[in-house]
Amino acid sequence: MNECSFILIAPFRRLWRSVISTRGKTNGSKYQLILEAAIKVFARRGFYQTTISQIAREAGVADGTIYLYFKNKDDILVQFFTYKTRQVFSGFREELNRGVNAVEKLRNLIRRHLEEFQRDRDMALVYHAVTRQQDRLVKKEIKEISKMYLDIVAEIVEQGQAEGVMRKDLYMSLVKRYILGAVDEIINTWLHSGGKYDLVSMADPLIDLFIRGIGNTDEIEKNISEAAPPPSDNTDKS
């Protein structure tokens, strides 16, 4: 394992240790039942409008049972990011490893991202609402998750540059945020539509846009050529 691989994989190991050690309740069915119920209620009502009683009712448990697994409603939101969301994002690495080249890895990453969010629309709604508000309760967790994703994108782009299929003069910070921002906006648009179309169908057009851009290369070269001033004739005609 090279140094770059260790740097990228280490955060996932730490995250999973954090998940597994979450008061020893991550593997308990009640913990997951309550967490899933909370996500559903948060998605319908919004985090700040949701009460513990509403979550308990959705989970089919007594209000007091909630406090056996979570300190309060704020803790449920934190656990959503330290368990559910990180579980989804860490799965991106598995999909990435199935690609044989940079373009295939990027396609796998984007497709898996869209599949996961389409599979659990409630999770997607809560994630997008909270991350866009940069909620103070999970600001640190949001930052860590974003860094994970951006690091994966950087790894793909660097491989693409080494393979010669991606430009070497790219401004990496801009490229990473361009890709993450585009995927994020596609998911957000899908959510606002009520999930009325196949989100995953957007993966290939998005990859094509990332790789090819929006310009017609032949026409661009032609326009540059036509706009260029004619070569000067320095021949001495005297």
Q: Tell me the whole-structure pTM to 2 decimals.
A: 0.75
Q: Provide the 3-class DSSP secondary structure of residue 133.
A: helix
Residue 103 pLDDT > 80: yes
d(CA 7, CA 27) in angstroms, rounded, equals 28
Domains of the chain: 3-215 (1.10.357.10)
| More confident: 17 or 29 | 29
Model confidence over 118-176: pLDDT tens digits?
999 999 999 998 888 777 888 888 888 888 889 999 999 999 999 999 988 889 999 99
Q: How far apart, in whole angstroms, are the C-alpha atoms of residue 148 and residue 200?
A: 22
